[in-house]
Amino acid sequence: MAHRSSEILFTDSVRKAQVRYGSREQMERLRQLGPANDALTEAEREFIQARDGFYLATVSESGWPYIQFRGGPTGFLRVLDAKTLGYADFRGNRQYVSTGNIAHDDRVALFFMDYANRTRLKLLGHARIADAREAPDLAARLAVPGYPARVERAVLITMESYEWNCHQHITPRYTEAELAARAGDE
Protein backbone atom coordinates (compact mmCIF):
# COMPACT_ATOMS: atom_id res chain seq x y z
CA MET A 1 0.00 0.00 0.00
CA ALA A 2 1.18 3.50 -0.78
CA HIS A 3 1.69 6.23 1.80
CA ARG A 4 -1.90 6.72 3.01
CA SER A 5 -1.60 10.36 4.15
CA SER A 6 -0.32 11.37 0.72
CA GLU A 7 -3.19 9.55 -0.97
CA ILE A 8 -5.69 11.44 1.14
CA LEU A 9 -4.09 14.89 1.21
CA PHE A 10 -2.40 15.29 -2.16
CA THR A 11 -5.42 16.51 -4.10
CA ASP A 12 -5.19 18.08 -7.55
CA SER A 13 -4.78 21.56 -6.03
CA VAL A 14 -2.06 20.34 -3.67
CA ARG A 15 -0.17 18.60 -6.47
CA LYS A 16 -0.33 21.83 -8.53
CA ALA A 17 1.15 23.75 -5.59
CA GLN A 18 3.87 21.11 -5.25
CA VAL A 19 4.72 21.54 -8.93
CA ARG A 20 4.80 25.32 -8.61
CA TYR A 21 7.10 25.25 -5.59
CA GLY A 22 9.34 22.39 -6.73
CA SER A 23 8.48 19.51 -4.41
CA ARG A 24 6.21 17.41 -6.63
CA GLU A 25 8.77 14.73 -7.55
CA GLN A 26 9.84 14.29 -3.93
CA MET A 27 6.22 14.08 -2.76
CA GLU A 28 5.38 11.53 -5.46
CA ARG A 29 8.26 9.34 -4.24
CA LEU A 30 6.85 9.67 -0.70
CA ARG A 31 3.39 8.67 -1.93
CA GLN A 32 4.73 5.63 -3.77
CA LEU A 33 7.56 4.52 -1.49
CA GLY A 34 6.79 5.97 1.93
CA PRO A 35 5.51 3.83 4.78
CA ALA A 36 1.77 3.09 4.65
CA ASN A 37 1.13 5.00 7.93
CA ASP A 38 -2.32 3.41 8.16
CA ALA A 39 -1.91 1.46 11.42
CA LEU A 40 -0.47 2.78 14.66
CA THR A 41 2.80 1.30 15.87
CA GLU A 42 3.99 1.20 19.46
CA ALA A 43 5.74 4.58 18.95
CA GLU A 44 2.47 6.34 18.03
CA ARG A 45 0.55 4.49 20.75
CA GLU A 46 3.00 5.61 23.44
CA PHE A 47 3.14 9.19 22.13
CA ILE A 48 -0.65 9.56 22.00
CA GLN A 49 -1.29 8.03 25.41
CA ALA A 50 1.35 10.29 27.01
CA ARG A 51 -0.57 13.43 25.96
CA ASP A 52 -2.89 15.39 28.23
CA GLY A 53 -4.58 17.06 25.28
CA PHE A 54 -4.85 17.33 21.54
CA TYR A 55 -6.44 19.53 18.89
CA LEU A 56 -9.50 18.15 17.09
CA ALA A 57 -10.47 19.57 13.68
CA THR A 58 -13.93 19.02 12.18
CA VAL A 59 -15.74 20.46 9.17
CA SER A 60 -19.05 22.32 9.43
CA GLU A 61 -22.01 22.02 7.05
CA SER A 62 -20.97 25.37 5.59
CA GLY A 63 -17.49 24.00 4.81
CA TRP A 64 -15.68 25.97 7.51
CA PRO A 65 -13.05 24.10 9.56
CA TYR A 66 -13.42 24.13 13.33
CA ILE A 67 -10.58 23.35 15.74
CA GLN A 68 -11.20 22.51 19.38
CA PHE A 69 -8.73 21.64 22.12
CA ARG A 70 -9.59 18.44 23.96
CA GLY A 71 -7.89 17.98 27.31
CA GLY A 72 -7.94 15.79 30.37
CA PRO A 73 -5.64 13.74 32.52
CA THR A 74 -2.64 12.21 30.75
CA GLY A 75 -3.82 9.13 28.89
CA PHE A 76 -7.50 10.11 28.67
CA LEU A 77 -7.30 9.46 24.93
CA ARG A 78 -6.98 5.70 24.61
CA VAL A 79 -5.47 3.71 21.77
CA LEU A 80 -7.88 0.78 21.59
CA ASP A 81 -6.14 -1.00 18.71
CA ALA A 82 -3.92 -0.19 15.73
CA LYS A 83 -6.75 1.69 13.97
CA THR A 84 -9.03 2.90 16.79
CA LEU A 85 -8.79 5.67 19.38
CA GLY A 86 -11.42 6.52 21.96
CA TYR A 87 -12.08 9.03 24.69
CA ALA A 88 -14.77 10.04 27.13
CA ASP A 89 -16.11 13.42 26.07
CA PHE A 90 -16.68 15.49 29.19
CA ARG A 91 -19.27 18.16 29.64
CA GLY A 92 -17.85 21.51 28.52
CA ASN A 93 -19.17 24.85 27.31
CA ARG A 94 -22.30 23.21 25.83
CA GLN A 95 -21.90 24.67 22.33
CA TYR A 96 -21.57 21.17 20.75
CA VAL A 97 -19.92 22.50 17.59
CA SER A 98 -17.59 19.50 17.17
CA THR A 99 -20.40 17.10 18.05
CA GLY A 100 -22.73 18.66 15.46
CA ASN A 101 -20.01 18.80 12.82
CA ILE A 102 -19.19 15.10 13.32
CA ALA A 103 -22.88 14.22 12.98
CA HIS A 104 -22.82 15.91 9.56
CA ASP A 105 -19.35 14.86 8.35
CA ASP A 106 -17.43 12.26 10.34
CA ARG A 107 -13.99 13.23 8.97
CA VAL A 108 -11.65 14.56 11.65
CA ALA A 109 -8.02 15.52 12.05
CA LEU A 110 -6.20 15.22 15.35
CA PHE A 111 -3.04 17.16 16.08
CA PHE A 112 -0.83 16.06 18.98
CA MET A 113 1.95 18.28 20.34
CA ASP A 114 4.87 17.56 22.63
CA TYR A 115 6.32 21.03 22.89
CA ALA A 116 9.04 20.06 25.37
CA ASN A 117 10.49 17.51 22.96
CA ARG A 118 9.57 19.47 19.81
CA THR A 119 7.52 16.62 18.38
CA ARG A 120 4.13 16.57 16.69
CA LEU A 121 1.88 13.94 15.19
CA LYS A 122 -1.08 14.41 12.81
CA LEU A 123 -3.83 11.83 12.48
CA LEU A 124 -6.74 11.65 10.02
CA GLY A 125 -9.80 9.56 10.73
CA HIS A 126 -13.54 9.12 10.99
CA ALA A 127 -15.27 9.85 14.30
CA ARG A 128 -18.37 8.29 15.78
CA ILE A 129 -20.11 9.68 18.85
CA ALA A 130 -22.20 7.62 21.26
CA ASP A 131 -24.33 9.24 23.94
CA ALA A 132 -23.18 7.98 27.34
CA ARG A 133 -26.78 7.16 28.30
CA GLU A 134 -27.18 5.00 25.19
CA ALA A 135 -23.76 3.31 25.43
CA PRO A 136 -23.02 3.15 29.17
CA ASP A 137 -20.54 0.26 28.86
CA LEU A 138 -18.46 2.13 26.27
CA ALA A 139 -18.63 5.36 28.30
CA ALA A 140 -17.50 3.46 31.41
CA ARG A 141 -14.65 1.82 29.47
CA LEU A 142 -13.38 5.24 28.33
CA ALA A 143 -13.99 7.11 31.59
CA VAL A 144 -10.94 8.21 33.55
CA PRO A 145 -10.95 6.69 37.03
CA GLY A 146 -11.00 9.35 39.72
CA TYR A 147 -11.51 12.24 37.27
CA PRO A 148 -14.51 14.26 38.45
CA ALA A 149 -15.77 15.56 35.08
CA ARG A 150 -19.12 14.30 33.85
CA VAL A 151 -18.96 12.03 30.80
CA GLU A 152 -21.62 13.02 28.24
CA ARG A 153 -20.44 11.06 25.22
CA ALA A 154 -18.00 8.42 24.10
CA VAL A 155 -16.02 9.25 20.97
CA LEU A 156 -14.44 6.59 18.78
CA ILE A 157 -12.08 7.49 15.96
CA THR A 158 -11.19 5.06 13.21
CA MET A 159 -7.79 6.13 11.96
CA GLU A 160 -7.11 6.46 8.22
CA SER A 161 -3.53 7.71 8.40
CA TYR A 162 -0.97 9.43 10.57
CA GLU A 163 2.08 11.53 9.87
CA TRP A 164 4.94 12.69 12.08
CA ASN A 165 5.80 16.33 11.36
CA CYS A 166 9.02 18.24 11.09
CA HIS A 167 10.16 19.77 14.38
CA GLN A 168 11.99 22.69 12.80
CA HIS A 169 9.73 25.54 13.96
CA ILE A 170 8.39 24.15 17.24
CA THR A 171 9.27 26.42 20.14
CA PRO A 172 9.90 24.36 23.27
CA ARG A 173 7.30 24.94 25.99
CA TYR A 174 6.97 23.09 29.26
CA THR A 175 4.14 22.07 31.55
CA GLU A 176 4.52 22.59 35.29
CA ALA A 177 5.24 18.87 35.68
CA GLU A 178 7.93 18.99 32.97
CA LEU A 179 9.54 22.04 34.59
CA ALA A 180 9.53 20.33 37.97
CA ALA A 181 11.14 17.22 36.47
CA ARG A 182 13.83 19.31 34.77
CA ALA A 183 14.52 21.21 38.03
CA GLY A 184 14.94 17.86 39.79
CA ASP A 185 17.52 16.76 37.20
CA GLU A 186 19.81 19.70 37.99
pLDDT tens digits along 138-159: 999 999 999 988 899 999 999 9
Q: What is the CATH number of domain 38-169?
A: 2.30.110.10
pLDDT of res. 99: 96
C-alpha 123/C-alpha 77 separation (Å) is: 13
pLDDT of res. 149: 85
pLDDT of res. 142: 96
pLDDT tens digits along 18-75: 999 999 999 999 999 989 999 999 999 999 999 999 999 999 999 999 999 999 999 9
Entry pTM:
0.91
Please classify residue 30 by burial: count the beta carbons closer than 10 Å to its beta carbon, then call 0-12 exposed, 13-18 middle and 19+ buried. Answer: middle
Residues 6+ apart with CB under 8 A from 171: 115
- The ranges assigned to domains in the chain are 1-36, 38-169
pLDDT of res. 186: 64
pLDDT of res. 85: 98
pLDDT band for position 131 (50/70/90)?
Answer: very high
pLDDT band for position 97 (50/70/90)?
Answer: very high
HEC string of 54-81?
Answer: EEEEEECCCCCEEEEEEECCCCCCEEEE
Average pLDDT over all residues of the chain: 93
